[in-house]
Structure 1
Amino acid sequence: MAEKIRDVAHVSAVELLTPVLDDTVRFFTDQMAMEVVERRGNSAYLHAWDDYEHFTVKVTGATTSGIGRTWLRARSPEALSRRVRDIEESGFGEGWDADKRIYHFIDPDGHPFGIYYETQRYQASEATRPSLKNQAARFPGRGANVRRLDHVNFLASDVQINEDFVGQALTGRASEQIILDNGTKAAVWYTFSDKSYDVVYTRDWTGRSGRLHHVAFATDTREDILRAADVFLEAGVHIETGPHKHAIQQTFFLYVWEPGGNRIELCNAGARLLLAPDHEVITWTEAERAKGQAWGLKTIETFHTHGTPPVAESEWA
C-alpha cells in the first residue's frame, strides 16, 4: 500500500461575496469580533484573533451572496510543487498570480481556490498586541470571539467527482460520509490535517455548481457559542438552528445568516481529532440521518434548501 502523502497543511482563508458590503463587514467586526486589517478596492480583509495569517476572511462587495476564492497553505515548497503538478494534470489549473506566489485553480464544481506556501503573517499593533506571546493577537472580549477559520462546506452538483479531485490532487482524506439508499453520496467530509475535517462537499439539491453551504469559525468552548447566540439575538442576526450537537463529526454548532445571506457556523475548537493513520471512513445512512442531530433535534428545512448564491425554487434543476 502506497504511503499517503499529506501536502496541504490547512484551509487558511476564504472569500465571501455580499451585496451589502458594509453590513457584512460590521457583522464580522461587531458580532464575530474580527479586526479589519486591510481594505483594497471593493474588499475588506478581516483577521480572527488567533490566526497567524495576515487575514482570515476577505469580504467582497458583489451583486449577490456566495463564495469567492478559498486558500490552502501547502506544508512546504516541495509540497506546493507536487500539488501544482497534480492540479495541472487534472485539468483544473488556472495559473500563478501576478506575484508567482499563489497558484490558482478550480475544483470540478467550479469553486475557485488558491494554494501557496510563502505567506504573510499577521503583525499585531499596539492596540492588538497580546500579553501572551504564543497567540497572534489579544483576546477581543466581545461578540462571539471566534478564534480561527475552521472549515468550509461547499455545495456541489456531483460529490463523487469532487471526492476524486480532493483525494488525488489535494491529498485530502475522507473521514465521514452520507450514502443514500440508492448508493449516491450525498456528502463527504475531508481532512488535510489531524482535525476530523477541513472541507465538506454536499450534494446541491438545485443541480447548480459553485455554490456555498456554509463557512465555519471556531470558538474555544461550547459556552462561547451559547453566549454568541445571545449576542446574535440582541443584534437582530437571523439564527437558523442550534445551539446543538451534530451526530456527524460531533460538532457543537450554531448556524446564523450574515446580512449578505451567507450561512455562517460557529463550532467548538475542541472537536474530534483523527490520530489514527489508518482511520476508516464512517458511513451514515438515510435512516440514521432521519433521526436528526445527536440529541434528537430535527434538521431544519432551510438547512437543505438555503445556499448562496440563492436559487429560486422555480429554477431548481
Structure 2
Amino acid sequence: MMNFKEPIFDVAQLAHVEILSPKLEQSVEFFTRFLGMEVTARSGNSVYLRAYEDFYHNTLKITESAQAGLGHVAWRATSPQALERRVEEIEKTGLGKGWIDGDIGHGKAYQFTTEDGHLMEILWDVEYYEVSEERRSKLLNRPSKRPDRGVPVRRLDHVNLMTSNPGKDTDFMLDTLGFRLREQIRDNGNVLGSWISVSNLVHEIAFMQEPNLVKGKLHHLCYWYGIPQNLYDVSDLMKDHGISIEVPPNKHGVSQAFCMYVIEPGGNRIELFGDAGYIITDPAWKPVIWEMEDVPGNGDTWIGTAFPESWWTQGTPRTVREAEEEKVVKP
C-alpha cells in the first residue's frame, strides 16, 4: 500500500480576483461590452463585476493604477473553522499580513503573500448576488439571465501568475493551503510551471516561470464559456473591434482545455476557456509531469497555431526594459 499525506480540505474555491488597469473605464467596457459581464458596484477608483453564472456579488475587481497587473487573489474557505485553521498555518510561514475588515461583496479576510510576493487573501463570509425580478432567469439554478450583449462568459475559472520560483510558490500552496498538484513542466528537475487545484478542476491557479526572475507578475486571468464555438464567436467580434488577440482559438495539451488569449485595453492578458478540459476524480491522482522538451507543440498547443514568444515571456506589470522594447516594436 502507498503512503499518502492526509489531504487538507480547508480551501473551497477561487472567490474573486482584482486586476489593476491604467485605463479603468476602457477595461470595464471590455468586460461588459464584449464578455457580457455586469457591473455590480463602484467604489472610489475600483469597479466590481460578475459573470452571469457567478453566484457571488462579484468575481472581478478592477482598480485604476499606473500599471496593469495583479491586485490580489481571493480564496474562500470551506467553513469559518477552516478559515481559522489556514490562518494559523499561514502565520507560521511568516508570509501573513493580517486581517482586513472586508470589501464590497465579502466580510473579513486574512491577507498574505506567496513566496514571490503576490498578494492573496482567504475569507469565509460572502455576499451572494441578489437578482432583480426583470433580470431573473427562468432557469432556477442560474443566478441571472444570459446577457443580451457580446458573447457572455459564464463564470470565473482560474488565474495564472508569473513567478521567479514556480517550485517554491507551488510548495507553499500545497503545504500551507492544501492544493493538489495536477500537472507540472520541468526542465532537468527545475520546475517551470505548475497547475494546481483544490477541486476536481485541473487548476484554479497556475504558476509560470518569469524568464528574468522578476517577482509578482500576472500572466493571465481566465473566464469560462463551456462551449468551444463561443471562442470563434468572440474572436470574430473582437477582431472587428480592434481588440488584440494574442492566441486565436486553440487547444492546450496541459489541461486539454480549448482556449484563446486576448489583451484587454488596460494591458492584462485574459484567457477565455471554451471548455475546462478534463476533470479529476481520483483521490490518489498522480501528477502529470512534462519535460520542457516535450511541451512545444504538445503541452502548450495541442490543436492550433504555435504560441507566440510573448505568451512565454510577458506578464504584467511590464518592466521598464519591456516597455522600452515594446515601443520599438510598436512605434
For residue 278 of structure 2, the aligned residue among 272, 276, 286 is: 272
Query: How far does the alpha carbon of each residue in 1:172-218 deviate from its partner, in whole angstroms, 9 at most, with x for none?
Result: 011000001x3211000001111111100001112111101000100
- Three-state SS of the structure 2 residue aligned to 1:202 is strand
Residue 105 of structure 2 corresponds to residue 136 of structure 1: no
Which position in structure 2 is the counterpart of 1:305? Answer: 313
Residue 229 of structure 2 corresponds to residue 223 of structure 1: yes
TM-score normalised per structure 1: 0.96
Which position in structure 2 is the counterpart of 1:92? Answer: 95
Which moved further from structure 2: 149-158 or 95-104? 95-104
What residue identity is the alignment partner of 1:236?
G
For residue 111 of structure 1, the aligned residue among 109, 118, 124 is: 118
Gap regions ≥5 residues in structure 1: none
Residue 35 of structure 2 corresponds to residue 32 of structure 1: yes
Percent sequence identity is 37
Residue 157 of structure 2 corresponds to residue 150 of structure 1: yes
What residue identity is the alignment partner of 1:282?
V
Which moved further from structure 2: 38-47 or 261-270? 261-270
- Three-state SS of the structure 2 residue aligned to 1:169 is helix
Is the 2:251–2:258 contact (alpha carbons within 8 Å) kept by the matching residues of 1?
Answer: yes
Is the 2:156–2:223 contact (alpha carbons within 8 Å) kept by the matching residues of 1?
Answer: yes
Correspondence list, 1:236-255, <5 A: 236-255=242-261
Residue 16 of structure 2 corresponds to residue 13 of structure 1: yes
Cα distance between partner residues in 1 of 2:123 and 2:163? 24
What residue identity is the alignment partner of 1:140?
P
Which position in structure 1 is the counterpart of 2:67? Answer: 64
What residue identity is the alignment partner of 2:117?
G
Aligned residues: 315
What residue identity is the alignment partner of 1:295?
I
What residue identity is the alignment partner of 2:95?
F
Superposition CA RMSD, Å? 1.6
Cα distance change of structure 1 residues 139 and 167 upon mapping to structure 2, 3 Å threshold: same
- Three-state SS of the structure 2 residue aligned to 1:304 is helix
Cα distance change of structure 1 residues 259 and 116 upon mapping to structure 2, 3 Å threshold: same
Query: How far does the alpha carbon of each residue in 1:75-94 deviate from its partner, in whole angstroms, 9 at most, with x for none?
Result: 11121111111111111111
Residue 2 of structure 1 deviates from its aligned partner by 3.5
Cα distance change of structure 1 residues 124 and 269 upon mapping to structure 2, 3 Å threshold: farther
Residue 184 of structure 2 corresponds to residue 177 of structure 1: yes
Cα distance between partner residues in 2 of 1:269 and 1:133? 23
- Three-state SS of the structure 2 residue aligned to 1:81 is helix
Which position in structure 2 is the counterpart of 1:284? Answer: 290
Residue 128 of structure 1 deviates from its aligned partner by 2.1
Cα distance change of structure 1 residues 98 and 270 upon mapping to structure 2, 3 Å threshold: closer
Cα distance between partner residues in 2 of 1:261 and 1:314? 11
Which moved further from structure 2: 266-275 or 300-309? 266-275
Cα distance between partner residues in 2 of 1:148 and 1:223? 17
Cα distance between partner residues in 2 of 1:6 and 1:235? 44
- Three-state SS of the structure 2 residue aligned to 1:155 is strand
Gap regions ≥5 residues in structure 2: 326-331
Cα distance between partner residues in 2 of 1:279 and 1:179? 18
Which moved further from structure 2: 2-11 or 71-80? 2-11
Residue 56 of structure 1 deviates from its aligned partner by 1.2
Which position in structure 2 is the counterpart of 1:166? Answer: 173
Is the 1:221–1:270 contact (alpha carbons within 8 Å) kept by the matching residues of 2?
Answer: no
What residue identity is the alignment partner of 2:280?
L
- Three-state SS of the structure 1 residue aligned to 2:146 is coil
Cα distance between partner residues in 2 of 1:260 and 1:314? 14
Cα distance between partner residues in 1 of 2:143 and 2:86? 28
Cα distance change of structure 1 residues 120 and 296 upon mapping to structure 2, 3 Å threshold: closer
Query: How far does the alpha carbon of each residue in 1:75-128 deviate from its partner, in whole angstroms, 9 at most, with x for none?
Result: 111211111111111111111112572111111111111111111101112342
